Structure 1
Amino acid sequence: MAARIDRLVTSGTFSLDGGTWDVDNNVWIVGDDEDAIVIDAAHDAEAILAALGGRRLRAIVCTHAHNDHIDAAPALAARTGATIHLHPDDLPLWQRTHPDSAPDAELADGQVLTIAGTDLTVLHTPGHAPGAVCLHAPALGAVFTGDTLFQGGPGATGRSFSDFPTIVGSIRDRLLTLPPETKVLTGHGEPTTIGDEAPHLDEWIRRGH
């Protein structure tokens, strides 16, 4: 059976630089009826377990290490035996949330993760966070962008560890080069497509998010 994509929305808080905000996060589950991976274990390990529905969880892949995307990762890993994968440039952020644990494996640009016969290629897309990555699944016509690209523009770069010119470069060079029909499955909010976002690059630069 070919891999499919399931979406779960969980709620909690995001904290950085002394502020805390209520947020809703997208948790993406990619797999078939037997095996799956979770992209961003946000807020609620029990809800993610329920959404898995008894499938074997092979890996928890973190698009970046802001607390709202990783807060449930250790608990989910403990319950399932899944390994946690994170780009090493985001370890300083990980340690702010989980000082007594570490991810199991490092993500690298160009690395290919395979689940249910479907390849997901890791694209290192710094800017929102130093170790931010996106996961491109050509067979599914989708790219999982975490907080790098949303419907309407780049992710926020007004806080520590972020940089606006860097995120714009990542989006321009790594994402907008994908086929225009590619679905953009984001860390928060509703999906979009590469074709819908690409025409607005110059506008984002002028706006200077």
Structure 2
Amino acid sequence: MRMPPPEPEISLLTTSGVFELDGGSWEVENNVWIIGNEHEAVVVDPAHDARAIAEALGDRQVPAIICTHAHNDHVNAAPELAALTGAPILLHPDDLPLWKLTHPGDEPDEELSDGQKIVVGGLYLHVRHTPGHSPGSVSLYLPALGAVFTGDTLFQGGPGATGRSFSDFPTIIRSIETRLLDLPPETVVHTGHGPTTTIGEEQPHLSEWIARGH
């Protein structure tokens, strides 16, 4: 009898470390998302602790390590995790200047592009370029599981920070309005820090966010 294919799932690993930019540093907790099944999985935002992430992956194949953006707290464990798993690191090229602040002697393996589809465990992750928090920020839409991974672009309660280098408030609002709030309202938003939310919960607050920026 043919066995059914392994069920896909989303799992969360929280890691702790330091976010550094523009001469400042802040203690942070990051959400590391693992998406796949019992045979293979991708990692979204390899933060702080490569060995803990590798342990969570177990013996699964890792077709990609995906960085939603290149702030150090989202990519600082990427090269070590790549060495442990043999997986390529994927990053949007517009965030390469930020990547080089953390990894000056290294580069990502492959470029992410708007509209790209990444396959893992029979699932399709749709790459959406959502700049604003950083120039190369992307979100990953997973329609099969009704989820989107927004990095630091959209959180429960509002957009990501835009008060530091490489960021822009009008751009992040435009990204959220045109690339995220057009998703089905029941879509679960898996963020780079803190709790999940849904598109439907955040959509009514768009005008408030716009007013907050003026």
- TM-score, normalisation: structure 1: 0.99
Supply the distance in 2 between the matched residues of 1:45 and 1:149 (Cα, whole angstroms).
25
Q: Within 5 Å, which residues of 2 pair with 1:48-67?
A: 48-67=53-72
Where does the alignment leave 5 or more consecutive residues of structure 1 unmatched? none
Matching residue's letter, 1:91 = L
SS of the residue 1:167 aligns to: helix
Q: Which residue does 1:182 correspond to in 2?
A: 187
Is 1:151 matched up with 2:195? Answer: no
Supply the distance in 1 between the matched residues of 2:7 and 2:182 (Cα, whole angstroms).
26
Instruction: Tell me by how many angstroms 1:58 deviates.
Output: 1.4
Percent of aligned pairs with the same amino acid: 67
Is 1:18 matched up with 2:4? Answer: no
Q: Which residue does 2:177 correspond to in 1?
A: 172
Instruction: Tell me by how many angstroms 1:114 deviates.
Output: 0.6
SS of the residue 2:193 aligns to: coil
For 1:45-91, what per-residue CA distance to the aligned partner results, in whole angstroms no more than 9, with x for missing partners? 01101111221111100000000000000000011100000000000
Supply the distance in 2 between the matched residues of 1:81 and 1:21 (Cα, whole angstroms).
31
Cα RMSD after superposing both structures = 0.8
Q: Which residue does 1:73 correspond to in 2?
A: 78
Count of equivalent residues: 209
Is 1:38 matched up with 2:40? Answer: no
SS of the residue 1:99 aligns to: coil
Instruction: Tell me by how many angstroms 1:2 deviates.
Output: 3.0
| Ranges of 4+ aligned residues in structure 1 off by more than 4 Å | none
For 1:166-192, what per-residue CA distance to the aligned partner results, in whole angstroms no more than 9, with x for missing partners? 000000000000000000000000000
Supply the distance in 2 between the matched residues of 1:48 and 1:160 (Cα, whole angstroms).
29
Answer with 1 or 2: which has the greater Rg. Answer: 2
- TM-score, normalisation: structure 2: 0.97
Supply the distance in 2 between the matched residues of 1:47 and 1:189 (Cα, whole angstroms).
19
SS of the residue 1:201 aligns to: helix
For 1:10-55, what per-residue CA distance to the aligned partner results, in whole angstroms no more than 9, with x for missing partners? 0000000000000000000001001000000000001101111221
Where does the alignment leave 5 or more consecutive residues of structure 2 unmatched? 1-5
Matching residue's letter, 2:181 = L
For 1:117-170, what per-residue CA distance to the aligned partner results, in whole angstroms no more than 9, with x for missing partners? 000000000000000000000001000000000000000000000000000000
Supply the distance in 2 between the matched residues of 1:44 and 1:76 (Cα, whole angstroms).
9
Q: Which of 113, 117, 121 pairs up with 2:118?
A: 113
Matching residue's letter, 2:14 = V
Supply the distance in 2 between the matched residues of 1:172 and 1:14 (Cα, whole angstroms).
27
Instruction: Tell me by how many angstroms 1:208 deviates.
Output: 1.5
Matching residue's letter, 1:60 = I
Q: Which of 4, 15, 33 pairs up with 2:9?
A: 4
Q: Which residue does 1:198 correspond to in 2?
A: 203
